A and B are shown apart, each in its own frame.
Chain A
């Protein structure tokens, strides 16, 4: 019996080795890139449609700047695993690292990497105290904007009733800021009672179930407001399942599913946070600062802008060209169409990133 057990263990070893070797076979060509700058790009979750849009932005920058991009990140958002990925990239010897920073526990480790000579740019989520600039939305302000738009839809300052709020990731600083902004705007209507924010989970199926339960428990709610990428699509499906539902659906991000919910009228407002810029700009900043010896080892903030989208209108930031809903839908699944649309931003706002760098306090103003 012992020999069988040992045999099994050796088989496991062989399998493990085989898997690593097989995996290595995929990566080898990427290692051939020599002399070219190599930038690490670390995301907080792999396999999320919104995060994928950010990654596509980073890949577009890598292509334009002729550098090698190494994308990595944990399967689920967890700061320690993400910090380990950043540390590993630094140990490999990449020239710079762009990373989202979802956890305060990453600060010490990130500052150690910066101190050791690897420049870092934060994107999508940041921690105050990391000695690196941050590219993202103005989170409190975008919350205020969303709250204001919802309030307009449900009757303005005289509105009376309940508004359900959901947060897929309680504790995530950017989401908490959005929540604060939404509640600030809704507070202008004294007759509004906010239910939540409830934990509506990140996973798409769990997210849908959470919103379904929330609406079932509060069938007279005037609006459902989510703070994360899966929410608008889920809210749309929940509304679609309730005959004659008049509940306003609002939330964030312009994934294909969210846009479809806006198009078919089951959800009503979605704010985008320009994932293309959040991916492109950090890579551009790193490459530009390395090539031109610009020091970026201190905190700062560059606004990636907010996109305001309803079924009938699309407003893009920084004086971008007008955009139709149909074209936005096409862009949500087409990295090349997205790159083409943002060409003006790349040649203007992004190229002049130093002029747009503000103190970090501007993020949550």
Chain B
């Protein structure tokens, strides 16, 4: 008996986690998936109506705004954070004095919650008292900067705040990658007379491919989950012009008592994440094998 116990201890230790994982992750995903096929509104109601909720979702202009916003946000956020993070990492990798201090400064926003970031930027971008007034006081009297209250520009304020928060992290990823590049390689290239720019463009950047990959996956993940930043910075407004899918899901599930639509939107978000994740994991596994 004791022997059996001893032999199976690893399984026994892992059993609670396994059970909770099956129920609270996979079970709940199935539950949400099923719920999205019912006519539930305020309360779960197990009367199945096929894809009706999805049809309602995709006929909802607010959902389209949220999805469009996500694409704008994803593309700009990832692009700017990648370029900025990479450039800062390359510059920081030039045997800079006080590198540690500078790195600390670039990265501290990552320790702050999106709610705090949103609150801070809401004040900085405040039309009337924020940046607009600062520039006016500098003498540029006609300067206007009121993206926060313009429905076609509000989503870009989310990009600004998110880049501020996350680009330092991208910098750290690239810096770690650059530190892993073999010194002899760069020396050899320099002896061959390659210019610094050519060296980086033709030799070092291609070596950073895995870092690009994981940075993109992580940033995508942050972007799809960005719920709190929108909530704190714009509240999804003006109107619902800066909503992201996560905010849509929250509003419909918990404020509007339309949990069927909410569940459908959550499932679409899951599929979105999977569409990015599966090719990533696939290529990772393939790389490990070869």
A and B associate? no
Q: Which residues of B pack against A, CB within 8 Å?
A: none
Which residues of A are interface residues toward B (Cβ below 8 A)? none
